[in-house]
Amino acid sequence: MSRLIVISNRVSVPTAEQPGAQGGLAVALTAALREADGIWFGWSGETGETGDLKFETYDGVTSATIDLPEQDVEEYYDGYANRTLWPLFHYRLGLTEFERDFQGGYERVNRVFGEVIGPHILPDDLIWVHDYHMIPLGWVLRQRGLTNRLGFFLHIPWPPTRLLTALPEHRRLVEALFAYDVVGFQTDEWLETFHDYVVREMGGSIGEDGHITVGGRTIRAIACPIGIDAQEFIASASSPGAMATHARMVESSIGRSLIVGVDRLDYSKGLEERFNGYQRYLETRPDAHSNVYLLQVAPPSRGTVQSYQDIRAQLDALSGRINGAFADIDWVPLRYVNQGFPRDVLAGVYRAARIGLVTPLRDGMNLVAKEYVAAQDPENPGVLILSQFAGAAAQLDGALLVNPYSPDDIADAIERALLMSREERIARWKPMFQNVRDQDVVWWRKRFTDSLMNA
């Protein structure tokens, strides 16, 4: 049996210090690594001179990490990955920074990864590279002479051709993907935009069963939507911790309907637009004020990047204005919390919420939407309000789809969700739940690795 080699920017395997610090993606990949005696390679998250890989094995899973010099972190991670590719791939050209040093650092770090990891790869290993930080890595490994099956999965959207061509050396970036045997995208939409670029800019041709040919190289590109660890999350919604949290939320709500949003603090998540939509609801439905409140959980991220500092300041100010304008002596319309919570606590909050409000401006998938669905009480489920620009919208068609840029659209959806009958809520929830349960993170992992094995 071939070993599975996973390579990503950061490593999420369990350790002795953090045995349970894993999300659904890490759970699925570590299970596969355990079965295949594999290794997860990545950056340690620490700065320092890049030396030998640091190996650690815990609970049958091996990780191998390297440190990166401060300049590499600035140019590769804070720079090209998060100030160039991330905003561009999320359709935010105005926030995209084009710096030649960023690109140089990005390619340099990918070469370092290839040089450090390459000697540890055996001839029949199956190699799976993850996300936008590592696009050139397959090309680096091929240059080192590796002939292994190489797969790449993009967790974020793929931008339209005209947007991508704003990127200096854009063709160089896309050509690197043709070093892989299988390239995976979250949705058919992102796959189709990739096809469009290949045909228009590279003169490629699209064949059957996802095969794409450019020059003498043919790869397979597939849509492979990621899921959550559904069984675990469904079980966690009935755990003691979740039940205690549910009881706390019901008690603190005092009969009011809870709307919940849970997002990393990021401009792609549409938090400012969400607050504006909620404000429009409050402005246009004064009789409903004391019957509803919004809980927004938004742990900070990428605090060294200026655009993330700006969005935090904007949300701090906007949440204060909303509460200042609408709060009463016994009611606060918006609870805004800048910290994260354990999965069982979130499951309890989701179950207590009449509405899950998920309004990204652009998102590769959005697993919060799937977690909200998984956590619901089958006899009395809440309503998912979901941005039409989230990848999850293609699967969760029982949600109320909204244009997150329109405050009126969000406000109307909130009113409709609050007035929706129990029978309609159940009818909408059931097929979404079946999709979340059946196309979970294990299904996603097997679909991709099976495609790669057959490449």
What residues are annotated to the active site? 155, 363
Q: How far apart are CA 165 and CA 105, in angstroms?
A: 20
Give the dihedral of Cα atoms 158, 414, 242, 347; nearest 10 deg.
-10
3-state secondary structure the chain: CCCEEEEEEECCCCCCCCCCCCCHHHHHHHHHHHHHCCEEEEEEEEECCCCCCEEEEECCEEEEEEEECHHHHHHHHHHHHHHHHHHHHCCCHHHCCCCHHHHHHHHHHHHHHHHHHHHHCCCCCEEEEECHHHCCHHHHHHHCCCCCEEEEECCCCCCCHHHHCCCCCHHHHHHHHCCCCEEEECCHHHHHHHHHHHHHHHCCEECHHHEEEECCEEEEEEECCCCCCHHHHHHHCCCHHHHHHHHHHHHHHCCCEEEEEECCCCHHHCHHHHHHHHHHHHHHCHHHHHHEEEEEECCCCCCCCHHHHHHHHHHHHHHHHHHHHHCECCECCEEEECCCCCHHHHHHHHHHCCEEEECCCCECCCHHHHHHHHHCCCCCCCEEEEECCEHHHHCCCCCEEECCCCHHHHHHHHHHHHHCCHHHHHHHHHHHHHHHHHCCHHHHHHHHHHHHHCC
Place of tokens 């129990």: 422
Task: Output the CA–CA distances (angstroms, integers) from residue 223 to 9, 311, 441, in the order listed.
Answer: 22, 31, 14
Q: How far apart are CA 211 and CA 48, in angstroms?
A: 42
